A and B are shown apart, each in its own frame.
Chain A
Amino acid sequence: MKEQVFKTMASIGFSWMIPLFRLITLDEPKKQSRIISDALFLPTLAIILFLALWAVISSNIHTSLGQLPGPTQVWQQGINLVDEHLAQQDKKVAFAARQEARNAKKLAANPDAKIRTRVYTGPPTFIDQIFTSLLTVMTGFLVASFIAIPLGIFCGLSNKLNSALNPIFQVFKPISPLAWLPIVTMVVSAVYTTDDPMFAKSFVVSAITVSVCCLWPTLLNTTVGVASIESDLINVSKVLRLKWFTHIHKIVIPASIPMMFTGLRLSMGIGWMVLIATEMLAQNPGLGKFVWDEFQNGSSNSLGRIMVAVIVIGLIGFMLDRLLMTAQRFVSWDKNAEIR
């Protein structure tokens, strides 16, 4: 039972917590405490040193917005941002309650009265912006993956297709997202015109910009992964006369999964970086806009709030990568392979 739980934990990327649990349940406590001290001591020490260095350096830098915030000020701003969000949530609930009461009163007076329901339009908080950014990056990434993986498989299977398309890919790959942005904005404005849009235009622009930049690593890595399948395995498929589809899903996909995921993880990393830049430049809702707004705002708290955002951006990027690693563990056939 316990071992089962540990196995599941390891498979979703929490193997570092296992010794802690073993220690708590007194399973070889000496060995576990040694593992923990080895695994936790050095990183903790490094973090403490980093914070100390940050505190010393920041106390010596004075900007036009006051002193550069140290760890304590940034922590304080983090708490403020969460409080602001909670206050906003309370307002939202109160607004909904007021509206409902008003409408109920109207209906009681006149059952045929027209009722208008308005959406709460308070400013998006830091937490709201996080979720907006996450949704945008996921959408862009998924769209890119749905194009890049099949296209990569086709390019890997066919030398001719690959040599035809590869020059285009290689030229498109190094283009900065900021160069794409004006084009994407104009094209979306021209093409995406409905009276009742399902998605906000800014969301579509950000997601497409992310997609365009996310495509290439997945595409190129999948191509290489498929093209470098052992020739013996291809021969097995030929001798068995496997049908095209069976060949793809029994041989090509399992064999190229590791390369595919290398590509996906690179893509996700790029996508997240691109998104923040896009949001800053295009003023599209999300963490990037939050950073830019705070910069323009220029209050004495702004730098601290920006630093909170920077740290959150880093943590989310790390979490997204972990998420993909976990996904790779689930779909990869080689459960013993070390995935870094």
Chain B
Amino acid sequence: MPQRYLELSKVSIEFPTDDEPFKALDEIDLIINQGEFVSLIGHSGCGKSTVLNIVAGLYQATTGGVILENKEVSEPGPDRAVVFQNHSLLPWLTAYQNVELAVKQVFSKTKSASEMKEWIEHNLTLVHMDHAMHKRPSEISGGMKQRVGIARALAMQPKVLLMDEPFGALDALTRAHLQDSLMEIQADLNSTVIMITHDVDEAVLLSDRIVMMTNGPAAKIGEILDINLPRPRNRVEMADNPEYNHYRHEVLAFLYEKQRNPADKEAA
């Protein structure tokens, strides 16, 4: 029986504006189990990132709240590591030093210096970045930067890994590589992940559940789709899998029939 690991309970948020407050999210309820991979999908501006930022503690919900392992989330912390869309590595530190900054912050009391070094190298190896550990972000490609960003997040041993369109800025081939890497890592570590994505294939391939959000303002959860595909999943085999295509169809139907892009509506 999976326990309630992470719970979003009636989360609403309003942002102050010059006129009346702008309500971005309206009573989001979501329960996520340990080791589950959940994707949030929806049109731009529907408040996906806001949900993630509330879980991260970077925003405070106006009403409702987030509970992680029986404790309410009130501020950001390394137990909810974030992988940002544009990697957000510190450009003046090497890949190793970027991960080190996080590791020192979390483990300086529990690990010795040599254990920390080993742990940093282990995490960089996990994302296949051991060959370029001592390079600065400006010296490596976009995909490699994102790998280091993931290594930095994993190295904090977070209770939940929050990923904000982690592969959105990458080309299709690099994206596929990184998705495969992420699946391997997740199979190894059984981490709990919330990922925001725009990409229907990515959502179906990676997730245990896909949370589809309605258009804002006052966005809600529209539908939740369970993905019961066996793991490990192979993207080439999946292309011919009728079940996979069925899930894809469901998500596409939600996005393009039930919740049309607000920009299209205006045009029509």
Interface flag for B76 (CB, 8 Å): yes
Q: What is the CB-to-nearest-CB distance from A257 to chain B, in angstroms, rounded to a whole number?
A: 9
Please, which residues of chain B bring their CB within 8 A of the CB of A239? 56, 58, 76-78, 80-82
Chain B, 72-95, CB within 8 A of any chain A CB:
75-78, 80-82, 84, 86, 88, 90-93
Interface flag for A160 (CB, 8 Å): no
Q: Do A241 and B91 contact each other (CB < 8 Å), given the known contacts A235-B82, A334-B138?
A: no
Interface flag for B114 (CB, 8 Å): no
Interface residues in A, total, Cβ within 8 A: 17
C-alpha spacing A241/B84, complex, angstroms: 16
C-alpha spacing A239/B102, complex, angstroms: 9
Contact residue among A235, A238, A333 (Cβ-Cβ distance under 8 Å from B91): A333
Q: Do A233 and B90 contact each other (CB < 8 Å), given the known contacts A241-B76, A241-B77?
A: yes
B84 and A235 form a contact (CB under 8 A): yes
Q: Do A241 and B78 contact each other (CB < 8 Å), given the known contacts A232-B86, A334-B138, A336-B138?
A: yes
Which chain B residue shows the least CB distance to A238? B76
Interface residue SS majority, chain B: loop
Chain A, 256-312, CB within 8 A of any chain B CB:
none
Q: What is the CB-to-nearest-CB distance from B86 to chain A, in angstroms, rounded to a whole number?
A: 7
Interface flag for B101 (CB, 8 Å): yes
Contact residue among B76, B78, B93, B102 (Cβ-Cβ distance under 8 Å from A235): B76
B58 and A235 form a contact (CB under 8 A): yes
Which chain A residue shows the least CB distance to B77? A241
Contact residue among A230, A242, A254 (Cβ-Cβ distance under 8 Å from B92): A254
Please, which residues of chain A bring their CB within 8 A of the CB of B58? 235, 238-239
Interface flag for A105 (CB, 8 Å): no
Q: What is the CB-to-nearest-CB distance from A231 to chain B, in angstroms, rounded to a whole number?
A: 10
Interface flag for A236 (CB, 8 Å): yes
Interface flag for B70 (CB, 8 Å): no
A-B contact count (CB 8 A): 53
C-alpha spacing A17/B77, complex, angstroms: 52
Please, which residues of chain B bring their CB within 8 A of the CB of A238? 57-58, 75-76
Please, which residues of chain A bring their CB within 8 A of the CB of B136? 333
Chain A, 197-254, CB within 8 A of any chain B CB:
230, 232-233, 235-236, 238-242, 250-251, 254
C-alpha spacing A132/B56, complex, angstroms: 58
A242 and B105 form a contact (CB under 8 A): yes
Q: What is the CB-to-nearest-CB distance from A256 to chain B, in angstroms, rounded to a whole number?
A: 11
* B36-63 interface code vs A (CB 8 A; 1 in, 0 out): 0000000000000000000011100000
Q: What are 20 A-B pairs with beta-carbon distances under 8 A?
A: A232-B86, A235-B58, A235-B76, A235-B84, A235-B88, A238-B57, A238-B58, A238-B75, A238-B76, A239-B58, A240-B101, A240-B102, A240-B156, A241-B76, A254-B92, A333-B91, A333-B92, A333-B136, A334-B92, A336-B138
Residues of B within 8 A of A (CB): 56-58, 75-78, 80-82, 84, 86, 88, 90-93, 101-102, 105, 136, 138, 156
> Which 6 A-B pairs give the minimum distances between C-beta atoms?
A333-B92, A232-B88, A254-B92, A238-B76, A240-B105, A239-B76
Q: A233-B90, A336-B138 are in contact. List 9 more A-B contacts (CB 8 A).
A: A232-B84, A235-B56, A240-B78, A240-B156, A241-B76, A242-B105, A250-B93, A333-B136, A334-B92
